[in-house]
């Protein structure tokens, strides 16, 4: 059975060209990028080149890029770094990725004043709610660019512009951060337009290797490090450079800047729209998140009288990989915090299914998915006491 991978928001398959670019840095240019000899210099040149590519992509300076192990580390470093003294006010949202949400909750426990903004019913953040929450001691606003579960996109540039205006009259400037992990492949990442002080990105969501991420940090911004040890990344993120992964990350970013990129997104959008249209023809199926303000690869469906994990399992047994916001799949006792924050009732949140497309998916796969989905939904509803 040919397997179908519809879980690209979780991770993506590495691009062949990315893998190829990495290989020499495992066994040929394997030096420590901080060493002075030629082995080290070659490795460092690779790191600097990757940094240059990423800085072009974000429209910033190379020295404004900090490499980390991924988005979890980036977001932890930024939030914990800004609030290293556990003072001041943080504004974030209720539907952030756990690596922001749980860090914010940790800061709250340690004495930071935290405001959690609820998204609107359509999964988009109302900027007015953020502006209204701003206090005199607000230090950081952290809003995700695109949501990882429902794919909804918030207007980061608008929020950034307003914060910039407010900062002109403020002594205590507000820093603005966006977790752009999901948006990176699909949306404008120009930090001059987004007007952010921090932007987190991750390699394995964009066909690069796992274990490498980065964040943009505007020049002259102060941040306390999480770890101490080396001079790497200006002391903000010490530790020997993961050179092959950095090379791969740079290559993955380069692919987004290529000419074919727009076409790739168009193709995904077509498949997405087909799946949404066909799925909604099934009785008791709804779309979670805004129909328009959403990523081109995200479909999040709600199935009445179906438990998401059982649907995920049915599909998996047919060779189709998706994701669900059901508690039963998470090991925790409550349903997806994202869906609940959007006002979806727990009994319905259990019946959610996320299909996240990637550049390797085809329309044929989408057609097979719809057939399998209809069959699986029929079977599971047959099992259910509610008909």
Residue ranges binding another protein (CB under 8 A): 305-307, 309-310, 313, 316-317, 326-329, 331, 333, 335, 346-347, 350, 382-386
Which residues participate in catalysis according to the annotation? 328
Taking the CA atoms of 56, 150, 196 and 88 in sequence, report the sign of the dihedral they define: negative
The secondary structure element, H or E, covering residue 113 is strand 113-117
Alpha-carbon distance of 348 to 344, in angstroms, equals: 7
Q: How far is the CB of 327 from another protein (least distance, A)?
A: 6
Q: How far is the CB of 323 from another protein (least distance, A)?
A: 13
Q: How far is the CB of 149 from another protein (least distance, A)?
A: 17
Beta-carbon contacts of 177 under 8 Å, excluding residues fewer than 6 positions away, are 78, 79, 140, 141, 142, 143, 196, 197, 198, 199, 200
User: 16-43: buried (b, 16+ CB within 10 Å) or exposed (e) per residue?
Assistant: eebbebbeebeeebebebeeeeeebebb
Which neighbouring-strand residues pair with 8?
Answer: none
C-beta of 164 vs 318, nearer to another protein: 318
C-beta of 334 vs 362, nearer to another protein: 334
Residue 317 · residue 112 · CB < 8 Å = no
Report which of 281, 314, 287 is spatially closest to residue 301, judged by C-alpha positions: 287
Alpha-carbon distance of 262 to 357, in angstroms, equals: 15
Beta-carbon contacts of 300 under 8 Å, excluding residues fewer than 6 positions away, are 149, 150, 151, 287, 288, 289, 325, 352, 353, 354, 355
Structure tokens at 288: 């979670």
C-beta of 75 vs 326, nearer to another protein: 326
Neighbours of 255 (CB within 10 A): 18
Residue 206 · residue 258 · CB < 8 Å = no
Going from the C-alpha of 201 to that of each of 126, 158, 246, the distances in angstroms are 23, 20, 13
Structure tokens at 88: 């001041």
């Amino acid at each position: 059975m040919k397997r179908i991978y519809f879980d690209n928001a979780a991770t993506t398959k590495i691009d062949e060209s990315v893998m190829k670019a990495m290989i020499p840095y495992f066994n040929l240019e394997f030096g420590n990028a901080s060493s002075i000899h030629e082995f080290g210099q070659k490795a460092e040149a690779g790191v600097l080149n990757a940094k240059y590519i990423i800085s072009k992509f974000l429209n910033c300076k190379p020295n404004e890029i900090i490499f980390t192990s991924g988005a979890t580390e980036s977001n932890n470093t930024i939030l914990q770094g800004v609030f290293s003294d556990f003072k001041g006010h943080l504004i974030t949202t209720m539907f952030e990725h756990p690596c922001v949400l749980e860090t914010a909750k940790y800061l709250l426990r340690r004495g930071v004043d935290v405001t959690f903004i609820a998204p609107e019913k359509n999964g988009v953040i109302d900027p007015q709610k953020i502006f209204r929450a701003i206090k005199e001691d607000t230090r950081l606003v952290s809003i995700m660019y695109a949501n990882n579960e429902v794919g909804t996109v918030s207007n980061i540039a608008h929020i950034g512009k307003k914060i910039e205006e407010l900062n002109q009259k403020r002594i205590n400037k507000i820093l603005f951060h966006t977790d752009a992990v999901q948006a990176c492949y699909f949306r404008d990442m120009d930090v001059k337009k987004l007007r952010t002080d921090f932007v987190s990105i991750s390699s394995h969501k964009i066909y690069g290797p796992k274990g490498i991420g980065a964040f943009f940090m505007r020049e002259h911004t102060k941040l306390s490090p999480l770890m101490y040890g080396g001079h790497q990344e200006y002391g903000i993120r010490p530790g020997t450079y993961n050179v092959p992964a950095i090379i791969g990350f740079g290559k993955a970013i380069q692919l987004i800047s290529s000419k074919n990129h727009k076409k790739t997104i168009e193709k995904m959008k077509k498949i997405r729209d087909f799946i949404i249209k066909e799925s909604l023809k099934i009785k008791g199926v709804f779309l979670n998140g805004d129909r328009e303000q959403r990523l081109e690869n995200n479909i999040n469906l709600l199935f009445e009288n179906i438990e998401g994990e059982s649907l995920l399992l049915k599909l998996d047994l047919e060779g189709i990989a998706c994701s669900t916001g059901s508690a039963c799949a998470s090991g925790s006792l409550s349903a997806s915090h994202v869906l609940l924050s959007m006002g979806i009732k727990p009994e319905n949140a259990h019946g959610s299914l996320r299909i996240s497309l990637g550049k390797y998916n085809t329309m044929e796969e989408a057609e097979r998915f719809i057939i399998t989905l209809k069959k699986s939904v029929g079977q599971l509803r047959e099992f259910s006491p509610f008909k």
